[in-house]
A and B are shown apart, each in its own frame.
Chain A
Amino acid sequence: MAIVDATGVRAGAGRLLACHVLHGRADLGAHLDVHGHLGRDAARHIADDVHDAGLTGRGGAGFPTALKWDLARHARRPTVVVNAMEGEPASGKDKVLLRHAPHLVLDGAQLVASAVGAGEIVVCVADDDPRGQHSLVDAIAERAPGAFGRADVRLTAPPAGYVSGEESALASYVAGGIARPFFRARKGTVLVARRRAMLVHNAETLAHVALVARHGAAWFRSAGSADAPGTTLVTISGDVAQPGVYEVERGQSVASLLAVAGGATEPCAVLLGGYGGTWIRPGQLGTPYADRALRAIGASPGAGVVAAVPAAACGLAEVARIARYLAGESAGQCGPCVFGLPAIASDLSMIERGDGGKRALARLAERLDAVAGRGACRHPDGVVRFVRSALDVFATDVANHARGAPCSSQARMPILPLPSRRASEAERQSSALR
């Protein structure tokens, strides 16, 4: 796990995390001291401000926030769902926001609720994050009902898991169902679960909304680049001197992000987005950390994960280990995911063991083709993207393994983090919602 406690938060560009520098966790008083009160008519012009600011979702898909509101406005009394589930094991940014700036997230949620006419806000914090839950419980209690908006706010703790933070899974849970994705014949429309329209936003997106409401679109755009305005939270992990959660300006190169975290000690391949993200080569680190530039090399900022794996380590061993985890995180609903992901993981493990070699590699290529695009959610697509880009970036490691050559990584510790099951169980016991 990347460092996400008080000592691990690095302020960087210092907008979302400005308060943390002075106060640690921002209670309501500290929050208002640092960020100021919301203007009386903030809710009235927030939709225009967010549109002009060019704010995009920070949960993974990078969808324009203003566009999402336009869709939701057609729905009858939608529910605003705050996604602070942090399903990505290599990400720590939601936890940092919940623990250090809960009022920014709540301000943002209440502004959205006013903008789209929502009657209720439901904040979703995973059941293995009691610290985040406690911080939110306290923050909600500090805010006088009605003082920040008309919508009711409640906290809920869906089961932790890679897929339970997917937006349709959260919508299903909030509507009283189980936290599993459901099939939507048409995407790009309002999300409806059990006849309730749901507007799901990542916690970081909402924290940006709270700042745009205070300072305006031009202020937001004064950081970052023209096509990637603003700051963003990234979780930098792996082979860097100071792993942690950083607030950085968008549009700078991936290499300069690594430099913010103290720099990589040797040439690195970098995983961008999350475990459903894309590997890029050491030679591609000059690419701007911006949607369009990354799309050109098949990558995206995703949920802000930036994980550096040294070129001298065996990428295949890392990828095989993560693929086994991802296969186990299938929601168990769609056949191509239920059967395909374990098959893909087992092909990778066989290649890693030097067992099956080229035939396993050919079969893996076929299976990646067969699974892509065939789930109700994007989980299988993410696994395919992760594995395909790894086969490309770590082609030398893969070829060495496939012909049974000894591996350079045997002596190394695992680099990419995975949740520890035992720790999660203990944390669930101390949940704030029991």
Chain B
Amino acid sequence: MRMMRLRVDPVACDAFGYCAELLPEMVGLDEWGYPVLADGVVPPPLLDLARRAVRDCPRRALFLEAAERQGSDGARVSRGAVLGAGRSAGGNRPHARGPHAT
């Protein structure tokens, strides 16, 4: 099985937070409701859920890429599990743009 890595296009992302609901094992939210992705490859048992999270992103901001293809920015910071803890997913979202703004 190919090793996959989860990534987000931060320009496209509008903090809907569905990814953190669907895949809390890999996606936490920062204090503004934007996803913080766990480092490293998606564990194979979570791949189906990860694909679902990618499919269900209303902004098409989330994507999977083959892990060996990580480029020079392979050192993306992620502390998903830490930041996601103790906060309700998608709750704290000080965002003017609603789902219909897309």
Q: Please list the residues of chain A having a beta carbon within 8 angstroms of any beta carbon in chain B.
A: 182-183, 185-189, 333-337, 339-340, 343, 367, 369-370, 372-376
Contacts and interface: CB of A to CB of B under 8 A. Distances in A.
B56 interface: no
B77 A187 contact: no
Contact of A369 (B11, B14, B69, B79): B79
Contact of B34 (A182, A335, A367, A369): A335
B12 interface: yes
Most chain A beta-carbon neighbours within 10 Å: one of B11, B15, B72: B11
Contacts of A183: 9-12
A176 to B, nearest CB: 18
Contact of A375 (B7, B10, B71, B95): B10
A370 B30 contact: yes
B77 A374 contact: yes
B11 A370 contact: no
B3 to A, nearest CB: 17
Q: How large is the interface on B (under 10, 10 to 19, 20 to 34, 35 or more residues)?
A: 20 to 34
B79 A182 contact: no
B75 A373 contact: yes
A373 B77 contact: yes
Given A186-B71, A335-B33, A340-B32, A369 B77 contact: yes
Contacts of B15: 335
Interface in B5-32: 7, 9-15, 30-32
B25 to A, nearest CB: 19
Contacts of B77: 369, 372-374
Interface of B: 7, 9-15, 30-34, 36, 63, 65, 69, 71-73, 75-77, 79, 83, 94-95
A365 to B, nearest CB: 13
Contacts of A369: 77, 79
A376 B11 contact: yes
A187 B13 CA distance: 19
B10 A374 contact: yes
A334 B73 contact: no
B10 A335 contact: yes
A333 B76 CA distance: 18
A183 B10 CA distance: 7
B90 to A, nearest CB: 12
Contact of A185 (B7, B30, B83): B7
B82 to A, nearest CB: 9
Q: Is the interface of A mostly helix, strand, loop or mixed?
A: loop
A333 B10 contact: yes
Contacts of A188: 71-72
Given A183-B9, A186-B69, A334-B10, A374 B94 contact: no
Contact of B30 (A333, A336, A376): A336
A164 B15 CA distance: 25
A187 B94 contact: no
Contact of A336 (B32, B65, B79): B32
B78 to A, nearest CB: 8
A186 B70 CA distance: 7
B71 A373 contact: no
Given A370-B79, A374-B34, A376-B11, 20 more contacts: A183-B11, A185-B7, A185-B9, A186-B71, A187-B71, A187-B72, A187-B73, A333-B10, A334-B11, A334-B13, A335-B10, A335-B14, A335-B34, A335-B95, A339-B34, A339-B94, A340-B30, A369-B77, A374-B77, A376-B9
Nearest to B61: A183
A189 B70 CA distance: 12
Contacts of B11: 182-183, 333-334, 376
A43 B63 CA distance: 42
24 contacts: A183-B10, A183-B11, A183-B12, A185-B7, A185-B9, A185-B65, A186-B71, A187-B73, A188-B71, A333-B10, A334-B10, A335-B10, A335-B15, A336-B30, A339-B32, A339-B34, A339-B94, A369-B77, A370-B83, A372-B77, A373-B77, A374-B76, A374-B77, A376-B11
Nearest to B72: A188
A186 B63 CA distance: 13
Nearest to A182: B11
A367 B11 CA distance: 19
A189 B71 contact: yes
A189 B73 CA distance: 12
B13 A335 contact: yes
B34 A373 contact: no
A189 B32 CA distance: 31
B64 to A, nearest CB: 11
